[in-house]
Structure 1
């Protein structure tokens, strides 16, 4: 989706879609041309028997069920698209464009790191290897870009040292300190805040749109199927394809030929 909105604007819009659900349900049930009004007209239709009235009211509820599920599916899709865009923008903040070293500093840095890597490779002394690694981390941690570049190498070296060390209890704290230092240096500002935003977005994806009195009203007025699927409308269209096909046919005939939407 093309978007010029901020993360906060996207989140607010998504929440508004969710929070508008109860008012939509009220309108569907009690509004003009809604469920109550339609069933009341059926109750006063002298041309229908009691059984005929009950059957027709059942069809009215099926149409209302379909209308509700269609609306909820559209709401969920819009809601999800807004959260997708918000998440995309948040994740973009995790991949900053760090400034590189000045050209001369880069040449000196690359040479020193290369020399230290060679020393680590050739070293047979664990203590010396640790010193070389620590020096590399200290050098790389002065710049976000170089810190990010060294992370993969450091991870591989730490795994190798943990696997072959005879003195793991002693070196583990040092290895952990080096890893944390390099990670902090390569992280963007407010890293924890960004992670919290991503967690909030993930939690929003799981929330139900219709709960409490709203869900109860749906179940009591439209039916148990509607109450059960209102928070998972996509599944409704999968599980109740025959009902969907029946109602869509009724709607099409009503639009094209003016047929009674609730006839047999």
Structure 2
């Protein structure tokens, strides 16, 4: 499909008896809008509980999500509409393990781990879709300039992560769920208090959906309003600065770091 309207999705939902997998190529032609759709598009989609929206980073992730969607919908009989935003390939990628394939469909899987997990200066960087490559570059900047370790996660569906965690929380409150059972995001993040920076090329509210389920300092970053008729996506320098700010707030870095970083990263001239 190629559409930036919710009405198209609603009509497809009826025509397919509320079960199907859809690829939207809107991101491939309309560069004036973030991800090729109006800002309200992903926000409304996130409220449509019968839909599972995904923003894969590359063709490999797309194949993994499709594989799991085929299994859960057509073999396991789950009544779902899977929405996958597609775009041109922008990077190389490493092979995914079987667990990565399953976890991608759950909403997130790990790309890299800190080299020294015992270090005090560690941040978690999460990226969805094409923003993942900029997240990786931000991780490089943090390591190169400040020796800050980064745990990088690909998050093809912030919406699914939030929805599943919300359902689990509700079940716990109703005493119908074993309190020891954890949501996927809880299992992934564990108990560390490392700051979390969640990035999306949609509106920042899409990434903000997981905030209630993150116990550490949290920042959501999304696409800015149009600048000179073009979409302004989160850049590595800004992502790195946000990570530094969170570490300063935790008193793990001095405030002087921020002023120096603004100059070093060239943000003051943007």
TM-score range, shorter chain: under 0.3
Structure in which a larger fraction of residues adopt helix: 1
Q: Greater relative contact order (Cα 8 A, min sep 6): structure 1 or 2?
A: 1
> TM-score of the superposition, structure 2-length normalised?
0.20
Q: Which has the larger radius of gyration?
A: 1
Structure in which a larger fraction of residues adopt strand: 2
